[in-house]
Amino acid sequence: MILLDRKEYFLQLLSEHLLISFGALAITTVIGFLLGVWVFYSAKSRTFILPLVNFLYTIPSIAMFGLLIPLVGIGLKNALIVLLLYGLLPMVRSTYTGLAEVRPDIVEAAKGMGANKYQLFKDIYLPLSLPAILSGLRITTVMLVALTGLAALIGAGGLGQAIFRGLNTMNTPMIVAGSLGVSLMAILSDQWVGVFENRLVRVVSNNASKREKRIVYLNMVVLFVVLFAAAVYTWPSQSNKSNTITVASKPTSEQFILGEIIAQLIENETDIKVIRKFGIGGGTTNIHPAMTNGELDLYVEYTGTGWMNVLNEKLPSNNQVDFTLMQKKYQENYNMKWLGLLGFNNTYALAIPDSLAQKFNINTFSNLANYSNQFDFGAEFDFFERSDAYKGLVKKYNFKFASLHEMDINLRYNAMVEGKVNAIDAFTTDAKIVALNLKVLTDDKNYFPSYEAGIVVREEVLERFPQLENLLTQLNQKITTQKMMQLNYEVEVQKKDPQTVAKLFLQHLKSNLNE
């Protein structure tokens, strides 16, 4: 059972999830309530606050996480802001509606008997609008707990991390465990807020029975104890910044494995504490800015991506990156260092079922072009978007596919199995190439640049931990394309844990070095 095997990991995620969602909930409740009150009293504010919170709510959440990265970076702050912005709508609306629906004759009675503005609000408006506000709070709570599942995309942690890890490493039990965790927490939180309906009105109105009071206070205490426990559990990993290093990874199995290898190597050989921010959504687009502002310390990058996407440089005519030049530019522009190359090239390729390859005798991209009108092509979103991927490829080889399918990067192979597509873009280290018996075609016109992997680290981190450079360069040239494909295969097909795979790899490496 995955939950028991990895108890500590899930407890950590659970604690983070609780802290993020309830932290956001507390802020959202206060701000949403205050805005709701403002909107109720000021007709003028109504004309812009309500449309604004509506608008914020309509921005797709994934986009919102991304949009905030240039402003506040990745991590907790970003997550809290996104959750706040989303939670505002139900909170503001329910507060405003609750207040506006208090019966006018009741308000008139209280006013007519001499309640001043404050007394009117405290004794009449507030208790009478509480049921509506609490039902808004219930919606907000469920929404925020669920939405916190996406916080892992920007490295803020939480149960979503298990889901994304599962998705990216094709580990179904992991996806199920993460999803069930989120659902269960949402249901429990909903029940928890439900306890206050009816009862809180009475406590506020000073006519609750002793039992009702006890239930309300007890529930508050339970929440605080749970949150406190979560905080105590989460905190050690966040504290003592001076002796920690934050290792990031993109959301792929390969990157999880490499991230683990680096993290474990550092943990085994030094007393530096490693914070793992693995599976950051959007990959380089989000990791590089976070490296620049110091939130992340190191990660594995690919030469082609570094040259074209980070440095924004054009490739020379032979399509090969000048590694020395790139190293220099990284140092000059970003104070980051490439520690060398790990030894494998994970470049783009096209793959088709081996059976079709034999039938039509297709070995190269050019061969495929001759039959391309018989192939349905599927690839991830950025493959179609990036100028160096699909658009240029079609120009170079004159592909005319029967149909095109855009999908999540993890679903390409599923689409292949299901027969929706019969040609996909693949990476040369993909485990599924072996598993699904695919033929990787040769890029005979050298269209794709090389994507050789290497560790990128901030120079400031190397100054702080001088032992790091020698330690990590031990990995250089130790992972061949074949080796990487095998490690990926162990995780994706044999369902081994990236941690275990990394551990075994390091054990082998160490014994080989010692020989």
Partner 1 sequence: MSSSVIIRFTDVSFSYGAKSVLNNISCTVEKGEFICLTGRSGCGKSTLLRLINGLITQDGGEIEIIGKNSIQWEMYQLRRKMGYVLQEGALFPHLTAYQNMCYCLKLNKYDEAYCRRRIQELLPLVDLDEEVLDKFPDALSGGQRQRVGILRAIAHQPEIVLMDEPFSALDAETRANLQDLVKKIHKKFLTTFVMVTHDTAEAQILATRIIHMDAGKIVSSI
- Least distance in angstroms from the C-beta of 116 to partner 1: 5
Smaller CB distance to partner 1: residue 105 or 463?
105
Smaller CB distance to partner 1: residue 131 or 340?
131
Q: Whose CA is closest to 189, among 13, 75, 2, 24?
A: 24
- Least distance in angstroms from the C-beta of 98 to partner 1: 13
Distance between CA atoms of residues 298 and 165, nearest Å: 19
- Least distance in angstroms from the C-beta of 124 to partner 1: 7
- Least distance in angstroms from the C-beta of 87 to partner 1: 26
What are the φ and ψ backbone dihedral angles of 245, each rounded to 5 degrees? -135, 135
Q: Which residues contact 41 (CB under 8 A, 6 or more apart)?
A: none
Count of alpha carbons within 13 angstroms of residue 331, beta-carbon side: 10
Smaller CB distance to partner 1: residue 23 or 98?
98
Smaller CB distance to partner 1: residue 1 or 118?
118
Distance between CA atoms of residues 350 and 439, nearest Å: 8
- Least distance in angstroms from the C-beta of 205 to partner 1: 5
CB 277 within 8 A of CB 244: no
Distance between CA atoms of residues 210 and 291, nearest Å: 55
Smaller CB distance to partner 1: residue 19 or 126?
126
Using CB under 8 A, list all residues that contact partner 1. 103, 105-106, 108-116, 119, 123-124, 127-128, 201-202, 205-207
In the block, residue with structure tokens 């090239």: 345
Q: Which two tokens stand for residue 138?
A: 């219930």
Q: Which residues contact 479 (CB under 8 A, 6 or more apart)?
A: 258, 342, 343, 344, 453, 487
Smaller CB distance to partner 1: residue 197 or 354?
197
Query: What one-character DSSP code corresponds to residue 225?
Result: H
CB 15 within 8 A of CB 230: yes
| Encoded amino acid at 489, one letter | Y
Smaller CB distance to partner 1: residue 112 or 236?
112
Smaller CB distance to partner 1: residue 200 or 291?
200
- Least distance in angstroms from the C-beta of 36 to partner 1: 19
Helix, strand, coil distribution of the chain in percent, nearest 5? 65, 10, 25
- Least distance in angstroms from the C-beta of 34 to partner 1: 22
What are the φ and ψ backbone dihedral angles of 335, each rounded to 5 degrees? 55, 40
Q: Whose CA is closest to 446, among 367, 374, 348?
A: 348
- Least distance in angstroms from the C-beta of 139 to partner 1: 22
In the block, residue with structure tokens 């269960």: 184
Smaller CB distance to partner 1: residue 126 or 433?
126
Report the largest interatomic distance among the alpha carbons of the chain, rounded to a whole angstrom. 93
Exposed/middle/buried for 51, CB within 10 Å: 0-12, 13-18, 19+? exposed
- Least distance in angstroms from the C-beta of 194 to partner 1: 19
